[in-house]
Structure 1
Amino acid sequence: MSTLGKRLLFAIIPTTAALGAWGWLSYQPAPSLASPAPAPTSRVSSESGLTIVTLDDATQNRSGIETDALVATKRQAEQTAYGSVLDLQPLIDLQARYRAAAAEVASARAALDVSAQEAERNRVLFHDHINISQKTMQAAQAAWSADQAKLQSAEANLEGVRASAQQQFGSQLASLVAGKNTALAGLLEGQDMMLRIVVPVDDSTLIPQQISFDGGARGRVAARLVSASPQSDPIAEGPTFLYRAPASLPVGSKVIAFLPTGQQQGSGVVIPRTAVLWFGGQPWAYVQQGKNRFVRRLVDDQSPHDGGYFVEGGFGAGDRVVTRGAQLLLSEEQRPPVTAAAACKDPECDD
């Protein structure tokens, strides 16, 4: 092949390759446009003014949501009262003062016995003209008189401690100071506590011998009447009474007490304490409707009862309340609604 032929051949080969590549590109299918993402399904809806949270079985299992059925129950009609846990440290201090004063009385009485005998012996010796001076006799009588005054002072101090205890705590608790009431000894040992309850009574109402109060995590705790209180409670006005109960609350704690009224029993249900959650300063509970729907209801006019809250309205026997996972449902309910644009993370969703 001539030199000219070779040059023509090398010039044709690149041109043919370029044309082939252009043809292959021209026949490639155009990339398909991304289909729009489906709009996310919201778990929260509203029906008849109620907010419904819908969770499928898988989500409920992953979240550990559990429910319990409410059971109809009856409760003794009650009246609410208020009070506080009494500080018994002053009573303990008075007991220590009483014991010290009683020891002083015993010591003064013993000294008086000795001085009385000495004064009488010297008096007899002087009048029998025994070798004893009048001055010695008079000194013995003076010592006797001084010991009498010391005894009177010690007895007055002892009586003052007893009167102070009775004025502050009443006769029943004051008897503890003198160690004469073993039935209430558990109070000073910290096993029991004393409640000061303002009882809303009138002339026809009997003071209940036993009441109950909200003991927090322990639920309802019973308390028995000790006596009327000689001092009023600072949080409320009215007749005040002292009730003894097992130690369960710190000193100074405010107490909600429940007084039986003797009226007809009320009917309702007890919502477990684990089902109640607080939102917006109010107690709520979630009720399961159907298989996958949950609605939040207000726990209104409730009172502690049997480890939960007794209500006469808003809930019925057979309702299933969420006892575990209620906070998760509330979080789901309060979550901002998710839109299709918010759900799409592709920048092309903004076009």
Structure 2
Amino acid sequence: MRQFFLSTLIFAACAGGLVMTKAHAADEPAKDAKKPAEAPTKGEKKPAETAAKDEKNPAEESRVKTDANGNTVIAVDDETQKRIGLKVEPLTATELTPEVKGYGSVVDPSPLTVAINDLATAEAAYNASSKELERLKTLKEQGNASDRVLQAAEAAAVRDQLLIQSAKDRLTLAWGKAIAEQKDLPEFVKLLTSLDSALVRINLAGGENLDSNPTSARILKLSGNPIEAQFLSIATTVDPQTQGQGFIFIVKNNEARLRPGEAVTGYLKVAGEPIKGMVIPREAIVRSEGKGWAYVQTGETVFTRREVPLDHLIEKGWFVTEGFAPNDRLVVAAAQALLSEERKGLIKAD
């Protein structure tokens, strides 16, 4: 009997434990359902936020794009155009005298000064010796001068005359006939040494020659406007580095204060048919990526940025023969602001 009672007690204890286990398992989902969702950790974005950010504004995406030619195109509404003061003007066709590009420098007039002083010294010596010869000839006729003295005077006069010719030859060989035959050489040199005028030598590339002499040239410093120069002569020597033909020009009014040794670029005006093209004004140029650019209005609110070659500067701007056409509506005011709008559009699109 006792054994039966003990077995019943063990069975009841096992049954009770099974019931408690099932009850505990049923409570777990309810607790999980009541438990609030865990907050995202720092730096972790909520799903809704991520979706909102990934969903880009179509208007911003299309504000800056690239056309079929690879040019950047930006859409700018009327309000923004007024705010930045944007202004456009139609391009007009123009013609330019044919030019050949060369490089050179401002000539140091010091050697020319030395050569002219040598000539002046020789002329002064000959002036004195020739007068002494005439005086001795008169004395000889009067019987007051010996043949020996007269012969010495004649030799001195001939020597000094040869020194004049030698000085002239050296001057012509070094500087050319156009300089050597200046009407007033001392005044010519004085203007050069005082920087009131300047001599410029422009060399062409090796192997490049002109069929005729240039009429004039536009001289460009590293900065500033082009300077007009008159053709003076062909250089008497070939540039030892480029082996190119050289030309000497004179800037009679040196307001730009060209200085000896200063590097310059020269555009030599030559005979030939005029070159047709357009002039992009300075105020229309913006610089980016190491290049020059200008904006053309290609729609009511659409502007295309086109590259401008910066290799043909004239007084009013940059002369171009391609990339632009007459009547293109060129942005001539607020071009830099337009470039800023373009960059802002790219940032927003990203």
Q: Under TM normalisation by the shorter chain, which class is it?
A: 0.5 to 0.7
Contact 2:60 2:345 in 1 (8 A): no
Q: Spell out, residue by residue over 1:214-255, the C-alpha distance to the aligned partner (whole angstroms, 9 max, x if none).
A: 54644473x544333212235532333334454455244322
**Any idea what the Cα deviations from partners look like across 1:95-133, whole Å, max 9, x if unmatched?**
333223322222233334445545665xx36xxxxxxxx
Q: Which moved more, 1:36-45 or 1:327-336?
A: 36-45
Give the equivalent residue in structure 1 for 2:264.
Answer: 254
Aligned partner of residue 238 in structure 1, secondary structure: coil
Residues 1:42 and 1:246: Cα distance change in structure 2 (over 3 Å): farther
Distance 2:265 2:347 in 1: 45
Which residue of 2 is the match for residue 210 of structure 1? 215
Q: Which one-letter code corresponds to 1:196 in the other structure? A: R
Residue in 2 that maps onto 1:237: 243
Within 1, Cα distance between the matches of 2:293 and 2:150?
Answer: 78
Deviation at 1:168, TM superposition (A): 0.9
Aligned to 1:98: 119
Contact 2:239–2:245 (Cα < 8 Å) also in 1: no
Partner of 1:315: 324
> CA separation in 2, counterparts of 1:76 and 1:174?
30
Return the alpha-carbon distance in structure 1 between the equivalents of residues 162 and 292 of structure 2: 57
Encode CA deviations 1:280-330: one digit per residue, 9 max, x unaligned: 332222223334443321113853346222222211112222333333333
Measure, in 1, the Cα distance between the counterparts of 2:346 and 2:231: 56
Q: What corresponds to 1:329 in structure 2?
A: 338
Judge which range, 153-162 or 313-322, deviates more: 153-162
Among candidates 90, 108, 117, match of residue 87 of structure 1: 108
State the alpha-carbon separation in 1 of the partners of residues 209 and 306 from structure 2: 39
Query: Do 2:219 and 2:226's aligned partners in 1 also have CA atoms closer than 8 Å?
Result: yes
Q: Find the aligned partners of 2:100 and 2:185 in 1 and give their Cα distance.
A: 35
> Is residue 158 from structure 1 mapped to residue 177 from structure 2 by the alignment?
no
Give 1:1-351 correspondences, 5 Å limit: 45-48=64-67, 49-118=70-139, 121=142, 124=143, 144=150, 146-176=152-182, 179=184, 192-198=197-203, 206-215=211-220, 217-219=224-226, 221=228, 223-234=229-240, 236-248=242-254, 250=258, 251=260, 252-263=262-273, 265-300=274-309, 303-305=312-314, 307-334=316-343, 338=347
Which residue does the alignment assign to 2:6?
A: none
Cα deviation for residue 163 of structure 1 reads: 1.8
Separation (CA, whole Å) in 2 of partners of 1:233 and 1:180:
25
CA distance in 2, matches of 1:329, 1:237: 46
Consecutive unaligned residues in structure 2, runs of 5 or more: 1-48
> CA 1:335–1:90 in 2, change beyond 3 Å: closer, same or farther?
farther
Asked whether the equivalents of residues 307 and 323 of structure 2 are also in contact (C-alpha less than 8 Å), the reply is yes
TM-score by length of 2: 0.63
Q: Quick one: structure 1 residues 159 and 185, their matched pair in 2 at CA, closer, same or farther if it must change by over 3 Å? A: same
CA distance in 2, matches of 1:293, 1:146: 92
Residues 64 and 101 (structure 1), Cα distance of their counterparts in 2 relative to 1, 3 Å cut = farther
Contact 1:72 1:317 in 2 (8 A): yes
Question: Using a 3 Å threshold, how does the CA distance of structure 1 residues 115 and 196 change in structure 2: closer, same or farther?
Answer: same
- Work out the CA distance in 2 between the residues paired with 1:79 and 1:46: 38
Q: In structure 2, the residue corresponding to 1:109 is in which secondary structure? A: helix
Q: Percent identity?
A: 25
Structure 1 pair 119–259 and aligned structure 2 pair: CA distance change class (3 A):
same
How far off its partner does 1:167 sit? 1.2
Q: CA–CA distance in 1 between the matches of 2:210 and 2:226?
A: 27
The letter for the 2-side match of 1:174 is A
Deviations 1:148-187 (A, max 9, x none): 45444433433332122111111121112x7379999977
Structure 1 counterpart SS, 2:176: helix
| Cα distance, 1:46–1:268 mapped onto 2, change above 3 Å | same
Cα deviation for residue 258 of structure 1 reads 3.8
Partner of 2:27: none
How far, CA to CA, are the matches of 2:346 and 2:234 in structure 1?
Answer: 59
Q: Structure 1 CA distance, aligned partners of 2:177 and 2:270?
A: 26
**Deviations 1:46-87 (Å, cap 9, x if unpaired)?**
233443344444544454443322112344555444444433
CA distance in 1, matches of 2:113, 2:212: 28
Secondary structure in 2 aligned to 1:267? strand
Aligned-partner Cα distance in 2 for 1:247–1:117: 51
State the number of aligned residues: 289
Unaligned runs of 5+ in 1: 1-35, 126-136, 343-351
Q: Answer yes or no: is the 8 Å Cα contact 1:220–1:305 preserved in 2.
A: no
Q: Secondary structure at the match of 1:310?
A: strand
Q: Distance in 1 between matches of 2:246 and 2:136?
A: 50
The residue number in structure 1 matching 2:40 is: none
204-213 vs 228-237, greater mean Cα deviation: 204-213
